[in-house]
Amino acid sequence: MAELIRAARGATRTAKGWPQEAALRMLMNNLDPDVAERPDDLVVYGGTGRAARDWPSYHALVATLTELADDETMLVQSGRPVGVLRTHEWAPRVLLANSNLVGDWATWPEFRRLEQLGLTMYGQMTAGSWIYIGTQGILQGTYETFAAVAAKLAAGAKLAAGGAPAEVTDPTAPPAWIDRVGAASLAGTLTLTAGCGGMGGAQPLAVTMNGGVCLIVDVDPQRLARRVATRYLDTVADSLDEAVALTQAARRDRRALSVGVVGNAATVFPQLLADGVEIDIVTDQTSAHDPLSYLPEGVELADAAAYAGRAPQEYTQRARESMARHVAAMVGFADAGAEVFDYGNSIRDEARLGGYDRAFDFPGFVPAYIRPLFCAGKGPFRWAALSGDPADIAATDRAILDLFGDNEALARWIRLAGERVAFQGLPARICWLGYGERELAGVRFNEMVASGELAAPVVIGRDHLDCGSVASPYRETEAMADGSDPIADWPLLNALVNTASGASWVSIHHGGGVGIGRSIHAGQVCVADGTALAGQKIERVLRNDPATGVLRHVDAGYQLAGQVAAAHDLPVPMGRR
């Protein structure tokens, strides 16, 4: 092992200010072996998503953060610190840009060429922006997605291709099932999915938290074992037959259960389809966004890395051909009446490139289920306790229930998370909050630090998968009502406004969970250290950050976004398009 890295805990800092100390601890937390997938390689999650470009860069980041003054800003270019500039106390202490390439050069082969030269790295979303909190970071969004699936199934509103409910003719109108979210259950349903790594590992627990049964396939037995150890997965079956028997029995009994099985989804999905196994919901979270991280049929897991390095083009073609069979089976389940959706890993386009012409016959999860939340400025609000004390998270959970206890769906999530979610690295929590809500929580947390109710400061951030921070035509901005799917101005504006509002660190990335050439996205992090200055910054950032999401959807013509803007007196100079 290259190094054993664990973030410091407690109220004593080594850096000159808490924002710098927080960035240092979160960088280290990303590489904690309890958090990262391959810490020896600086890989946090998503196959190749790194926290730093190489070990010399990591050590330079640590040294610079330790010495950084309260009126200085460190610039980080794809995981490598490249400069420290004099700014001011309201400026971010760190500005990061990861994996960004000029349009015509934004291809996987060109990125890999530059990466091999040591000039860039893949930052994924929260890996290269130092706000990953383990699998819980995606769990709540996954929980929200499956809650929406349950609501839609309860309403009997099957989706048409492209994500619009078949009975709705106006794509700007809220779907008929939206009021059922949080009240419906997946009891009596079986979800089939694949990919149990840092992102996909959230799926089984999200399904069971919604009352359903999950069968998850992964090529790596160690990933499945890790999810059992951290309570995200209930059990691993010894064979596919055993997995089917266990899940079908639980489905009949309307009993929540998650079962993993070792196998290649490109083989297992078609087999289950051919065998006529009753499955209600189908999705996938393998690392399909990067063909070199997807295991082709006929290749042993132990041989994959060497093969991909030796013959990347051949490996890519074989991976895409396997993805084509994988996606063809998903379409087959959709044809048979199952609810099927792409979970944001770009597997449909990879399958298309692999020769399958019906790859887009099922929708992505954002237009299918999440867009109404985005219209309200809702998205992933996450925080980590720098004290390292789980009691601080319990206290902030109580604060969230005090602030938003009348939101039963949110309250249910907080209660379930407290009971069932195992912390990885620094204790952390996530919940989805909307425009006008996030700053209330942030300010309360800062007050709790100031009063001593919390033992040390709290880091507040979010996933880049948010209402106004991403341009991703195969995920967050798929099937926009006005056709603005690939417009990338919005995440850039989001990063700029968060910088102007006083975020502690801000990042702009390319690629994320869908791959090179397919997205631009931005992130922000604030530090609640109990000071009045931190409180002012938090109030501005956590109001303005989701505001860009509301504005983005108002501009696209969504009725709900317009209603939210009006209710909050959010100025929209040209109104709804």
> Which residues are annotated as catalytic?
431
CA–CA distances in Å: residue 393 to residues 10, 161, 388, 476: 14, 41, 9, 29
Q: Which amino acid is at 568?
A: H
Q: What is the DSSP string of 148-194?
A: HHHHHHHHT-PBPTTS-BTT---TTSPPTTGGGTTT---TT-EEEEE
Q: Show the beta-strand stretches assigned E in 339-469.
A: 339-340, 379-385, 428-433, 458-461
Q: What is the DSSP string of 362-391?
A: S-BHIIIIIHHHHHTT-EEEEEEETT--HH
Q: Phi/psi at 470 (nearest 5 deg)?
A: -135, 140
Q: Are 142 and 203 in contact (CB under 8 A)?
A: yes
Q: Are 472 and 521 in contact (CB under 8 A)?
A: yes
Q: Which amino acid is at 375?
A: C
Provide the 3-class DSSP secondary structure of residue 510.
strand
Cα–Cα dist 480/489, whole Å: 15
Give me the count of residues in the chain. Answer: 577
Nearest Cα to 345, choosing from 192, 136, 193?
193
Cα–Cα dist 182/377, whole Å: 18
> To the nearest 10°, the Cα dihedral for 100, 102, 104, 105?
-50
Element spanning 66, H or E: helix 55-67
Provide the 3-class DSSP secondary structure of residue 286.
coil
Cα–Cα dist 320/64, whole Å: 42
CA–CA distances in Å: residue 263 to residues 147, 230, 290: 27, 21, 19
Tell me the Cα Rg of the chain.
22
Parallel, antiparallel or unpaired: strands 190-194 and 281-282: parallel
Q: Are 475 and 514 in contact (CB under 8 A)?
A: yes
User: CB under 8 Å to 201, separation ≥6 — which residues?
Assistant: 135, 223, 226, 227, 230, 232, 233
The dihedral of CA 542, 138, 430, 54: what is its sign? Answer: negative
Q: Are 382 and 131 in contact (CB under 8 A)?
A: yes
Q: Are 70 and 21 in contact (CB under 8 A)?
A: no
Q: Are 76 and 27 in contact (CB under 8 A)?
A: no
Task: Please give the structure tokens belonging to residue 459.
Answer: 């880091």
Q: Are 487 and 468 in contact (CB under 8 A)?
A: no
Number of CB atoms found within 10 A of residue 489's CB: 11
